[in-house]
Structure 1
Amino acid sequence: MSSPLKRSLSTTGRSISPPPLQRKIPRLTEHVSSTREPSVDQLRIFSWNVNGVGPLLQKQLSFSADSLSPLRTFLKRHHWPQFLCLQEVKISSKDTATQRRLQAAANQSAAGDEPSYTIEFSLPRDKYNATGFGGKVHGVATLIRDDFGSRLRATRRPDWDLEGRVLVHELDMGLVVINGYWVNGTSNPYRDPETGQVVGTRHDHKLRFHQWMLDEALRLERSGLHVILIGDMNIARARIDGHPNLRTSPVQHVKNRADFNAKFFTYENGLSAVDVFRHKHGNRQKYTYHPRGRNWGESCDRVDLIVVSRSLVDPLDAVAETDILDNALDRGHSDHVPLWVALDMSIFSAKAAQSGSD
């Protein structure tokens, strides 16, 4: 949902915003604190739609005494999460130089006792539907802390995802983390990836994407794995998730919302998953999308979500904490703020030990 302008309730879509190469990271202030020091038994997964990685590649922060990149500063301020899932990185699949620069920024000036990170990418490879700005559209990347990397069994890019929107990370703990930049529904045309012929709209493609993600998650659950869907899902689920208004026009947005809620939360044959922010914080109003060019809090939506298999809540009760970093500092150069979840890894260790003794 990246756009520098407030969305109108009557618009059918928004234009793709260019990579914000000239946008600066806000100055750090004394009153903005980091997330608190985590428990050693927690698996912490952060997500952030960065709307382009350009500002994260600065060699150093001009307002800081150290030489950390903005990306490294973010990781340090939030106590080195094991995963940082980025969406809308806006890197061309051919641009290996920027991919290397992002890897370097994640590890810039790392002290000997600080962790390092490896980055996995999924970038557009659809020659008909992901061509804007020289192919610098969409794209996801996941930073994985190296001292946790041994727990990673596999990372894969689903064959059905040609726009660079999905990374699937399977862990040896019986967990799967799916970093996703979900399709934004608009009336713009969608072209067949093989022929280039128009075969509907981006609204139609969004509904197909919902089904593909549901099928992926259900298949993983049926194999005995717990699923974590995290990222920009481009859906505000309910009235409480949009301020001052929830988008209801054109009517296709209502249909997209109903389809998402049915498939992932309410439908008997769906995922029956848990929205962890609502699970932990009830009706608290926090938002993840804050468009630029508007006063903070004037127009915002909760469209970035963390959705987990119900088994992670009942019976495991594995979700320890979750929150949205709903402040201008953490929004940085983007139009989305980060969000995160912490899982109690001791629960998975105990479960593995019990399985081994059976």
Structure 2
Amino acid sequence: MGPVSKRSLSSTDRSISPPALRRKLSCTTESQHVPNTWSGQVRLFSWNVNGIGPLLQKHLSFERGSLSPLRSFLKRHQWPQLLCLQEVKISPKDSATQRRLQHAANQGNAADEPTYSVHFSLPRDKYNATGFGGKVHGVASLIRDDFATGIRVTRKPDWDLEGRVLIHEHETGLAIINGYWVNGTSNPYRDPASGKVTGTRHDHKLRSHQHMLDETLQLGRDGYQVVLMGDMNIARARIDGHPNLRTSPVQHVKNRADFNSKFFTDEKGMRGIDVFRHLHGDTEKYTYHPRGRSWGESCDRVDLIVVSRALVDDMGAVTATDICDSAQERGHSDHVPLWVSLDLSRIAGVL
């Protein structure tokens, strides 16, 4: 079992959840029943939704038990234990929309279906995250309540003021980081304390890489295996961009090199594993499909799932992963979901 976290449990409230429901689910068919969580298998999803609004819409049907679009997504994907959402675009002052998201996650649930609790990290930087009335960035994590009983703490790191990161530390020794990583641009970045311009968003992106690496390494020292999930705003290599990989301006090349070094190649870095490439080799699938372009005309793999090397090399805990690469799955967004399946029973010291 992983170590008891030394971090404050007051970072964000954690709901008390009911006992796990014990109904078996076939992995090849859709079902309303809850998977057998005692098998140790969990499925974690990530999706940059480019605004949460369409997932909260009410159906015009007056039929009892009708599902919200968000609840329908969870059902269609067989009730994942965790759904990490990025770019939810909710103002930190908008408590009503936050409540609507919690409601939509559970709207129309049947008695034998799971329920979800929602955690948020929303912008709190008065100089760099104020556009559109504060409706920029923002991440939310939907945690299935029977899985949430094992979450020791969900926290927002102090270094993230733009509402980009949520960290979930599980009692099995697994730490899951939901992240909407900074997009490097030449736009000015302002010091969060003084408001003075201190470089560009490219500079801020590189600093955020270091912060995320420091967080990941510290979790490793605390005994956790780490899963990084989300929109990382980096296409790692030529195969990850179609028809071309972005190379201009040159700072994008430098950002890419920094990312690959810190999280994959540097001996002092994370030395992580990109699970899609690990399990699917050179398969060409992409996560970003811009609106207003024909499907497949221009796309990039910028949403990633990166795990601690030991989860693959030593424990064999990563059992499956994929990208839901279709226009239907993209829905209203400009990104598609991606997921990973883990066998928690294979993690050292578990169960």
TM-score (norm 1): 0.86
Is the alpha carbon distance of 1:189 and 1:36 closer, same or farther for their aligned partners in structure 2, counting shifts above 3 Å? farther
1:352 is displaced (CA, Å) by: 2.9
1:147 aligned partner: 146
* Cα distance in structure 2, aligned partners of 1:320 and 1:134: 42
* Cα distance in structure 2, aligned partners of 1:44 and 1:214: 24
CA contact (8 A) 2:172 2:349 kept: no
Is the alpha carbon distance of 1:153 and 1:61 closer, same or farther for their aligned partners in structure 2, counting shifts above 3 Å? farther
Q: Deviations over 1:91-112 (max 9, x none)?
A: 0000000000000000001100
For structure 2, which runs of at least 5 residues remain unmatched after alignment? Answer: 1-26
How much identity, in percent, do the aligned residues show? 75
How many pairs were matched up? 318
2:215 aligned partner: 216
Q: Deviations over 1:251-273 (max 9, x none)?
A: 00000000000000001110100
CA contact (8 A) 1:93 1:125 kept: yes
* Cα distance in structure 1, aligned partners of 2:227 and 2:57: 31
Is the alpha carbon distance of 1:206 and 1:36 closer, same or farther for their aligned partners in structure 2, counting shifts above 3 Å? farther
Q: Deviations over 1:312-348 (max 9, x none)?
A: 0010010000000000111010000000000012213
2:92 aligned partner: 93
* Cα distance in structure 1, aligned partners of 2:75 and 2:234: 30
* Cα distance in structure 1, aligned partners of 2:252 and 2:230: 19
Query: What SS is found at the alignment partner of 1:283?
Result: coil
Query: What SS is found at the alignment partner of 1:351?
Result: coil
The one-letter code sitting in structure 2 at the alignment partner of 1:196 is G
CA contact (8 A) 1:139 1:165 kept: yes
Is the alpha carbon distance of 1:332 and 1:66 closer, same or farther for their aligned partners in structure 2, counting shifts above 3 Å? farther
1:109 has 2:127 as partner: no
1:265 aligned partner: 264
1:85 is displaced (CA, Å) by: 0.1
1:67 is displaced (CA, Å) by: 1.6
The one-letter code sitting in structure 1 at the alignment partner of 2:186 is S
CA contact (8 A) 2:83 2:142 kept: yes
For structure 1, which runs of at least 5 residues remain unmatched after alignment? Answer: 1-33, 354-358
Query: What SS is found at the alignment partner of 1:313?
Result: helix
Is the alpha carbon distance of 1:36 and 1:319 closer, same or farther for their aligned partners in structure 2, counting shifts above 3 Å? farther
* Cα distance in structure 1, aligned partners of 2:185 and 2:235: 15
* Cα distance in structure 1, aligned partners of 2:176 and 2:143: 11
CA contact (8 A) 1:61 1:69 kept: no
1:338 has 2:337 as partner: yes
* Cα distance in structure 1, aligned partners of 2:194 and 2:326: 44
1:224 is displaced (CA, Å) by: 1.1
Query: What SS is found at the alignment partner of 1:352?
Result: coil
CA contact (8 A) 1:60 1:66 kept: no
* Cα distance in structure 2, aligned partners of 1:82 and 1:126: 31
Query: What SS is found at the alignment partner of 1:307?
Result: strand
